[in-house]
């Protein structure tokens, strides 16, 4: 115990102790930042048992005079047609919110309600989504 006390009180010991404290504070700050970011990604999920919620129907009923951005309009139309889509000429299918399928023209798209429907039709999920 006496040797440790003498080492900590020396100049070399104080330098090492200061460096150790700076490193520990840096590491703990890094992990606290990561923890705060993880909680923000989870969000809140509301589930309704025995009934379905329709955000699209409420948007159309409650806001008929508001003009929406094209990207929002496209999303609403995509969700009303199906949750997944594929190209008539391709072999991959995409989720409605996937940006990888934006290049597929509307007239070449096939819509599916579930991923299993798309897979039964012979399509595989795109690795981009």
Radius of gyration of the chain from its Cα atoms, rounded to whole angstroms = 28
Count how many Cα atoms sit within 13 Å of the Cα of residue 61 in the half-sphere of its side chain. 5
Asked whether the beta carbons of 126 and 92 are under 8 A apart, the reply is yes
- Global pTM reads 0.38
3 state SS for 42-64: HCCCCCCCCCCCCHHHHHHHHCC
**89 is written with which tokens?**
């000429």
pLDDT tens track, the chain, 129 positions: 888 888 888 999 899 999 999 999 999 999 888 877 765 556 667 777 766 555 444 444 555 454 444 455 555 454 456 789 899 989 999 988 888 888 888 888 889 888 898 899 999 988 887
């Amino acid at each position: 115990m006496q040797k440790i006390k003498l080492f900590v009180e020396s100049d070399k010991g104080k330098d090492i102790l200061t460096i150790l404290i700076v490193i520990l504070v840096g590491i703990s700050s890094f992990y606290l930042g990561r923890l705060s970011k993880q909680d923000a990604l989870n969000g809140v999920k509301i589930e309704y048992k025995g009934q379905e919620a329709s955000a699209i129907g409420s948007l159309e009923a409650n806001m008929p005079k508001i003009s929406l951005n094209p990207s929002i309009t496209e999303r609403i139309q995509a969700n009303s047609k199906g949750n997944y889509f594929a190209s008539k000429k391709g072999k991959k299918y995409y989720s409605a919110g996937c940006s990888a399928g934006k290049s597929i023209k509307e007239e070449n798209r096939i819509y599916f309600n579930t991923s299993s429907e798309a897979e039964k039709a012979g399509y595989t999920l795109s690795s981009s989504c």
